[in-house]
Amino acid sequence: MKFLTWNVNGIRAIQKKGFEEIISILDPDFVCLQETKAQPEQIDLEDFYPYEYINSAKKKGYSGTMIMSYDEPLNVFYGIGQEEHDQEGRVITLEYENYYLINVYIPNAGENLKRLEYRKEWDIAFGKYIKSLDKPILLCGDFNVAIHEIDVYDPNAAQGHGGYTDEERQGFQKNLLSDLVDIYRLKHPEERKYTWWSYYERGRERGEGWRIDYWLISPSLVDKVRSVMILDDIYGSDHCPVLLDIDL
């Protein structure tokens, strides 16, 4: 089964850039999108996938997640069950017989780290939510943090900036990587590839990016993974997709 994660930086914008053609060519069984920036009635992907689940932010044109699937889940959960953290449409969980699929768009620390304290609170709450689940987990999305030096083009310049502060990196390790495996880095320990580039700094054409989009999986699923690939030749957003192929 193929699982795709992609921060599309606006679902309506990327539909004008060949989104549906790209997905049709890749033909994943599941498509997990972040930063959709749209309310359900603004998303027109009728009959694209038989099952579509949307979690929009209360604030219009902001944040938001979506999952499209060929397989109907047993249950669908929106958010993490905490009202103070569930206003921005950041989490969708699909429950299947043998696993959970979770799509997340984690808050970034913001300009001048103005949301760093909230980010720390969110990480703890989300980590507790993950630990509460009773089946193996496939967790994907935009985590807004690069964990290793190899994950940023210039770690010295990145140090202390949002997405590469000690607090964010340590929170990622403690709250998520204590239970789950960063499967891309496990499979590609030395490969330097990125999933996000700054539009403002023309990062993509300069090859100056960060790896902040992940597939994290339960240790029990590691041996079932066929491949995991960063599809950095696919454009349309300031992020690129990450594709997981796994036997489930």
Known binding-site residue numbers for Mg(2+): 7, 35, 142, 144, 238-239
* Active site members: 105, 142, 239
- End-to-end alpha carbon distance in the chain: 7
Are 30 and 101 in contact, with CB atoms under 8 Å apart? yes
Per-residue tokens: 75: 């249950």
CB atoms within 10 A of CB 159: 12
Cα gap 174→137, rounded to integer Å: 17
* Residues 28, 245: Cα–Cα separation, whole Å: 9
| CB count in 10 Å sphere of residue 62 | 14
- The residue length of the chain stands at 248
Please report, for residues 92, 108, 116, 145, the alpha-carbon distance to residue 111 in angstroms, rounded to integers and kept in the order given: 26, 9, 9, 14
Angle at 180 between CA 174 and CA 181, to 5 degrees: 110
List the binding residues. Answer: 7, 35, 142, 144, 238-239
Cα–Cα distances (Å) from 105 to 16, 55, 85, 100, 155, in that order, read 22, 11, 12, 16, 23
Closest-CA residue to 30 (of 8, 9, 5): 5
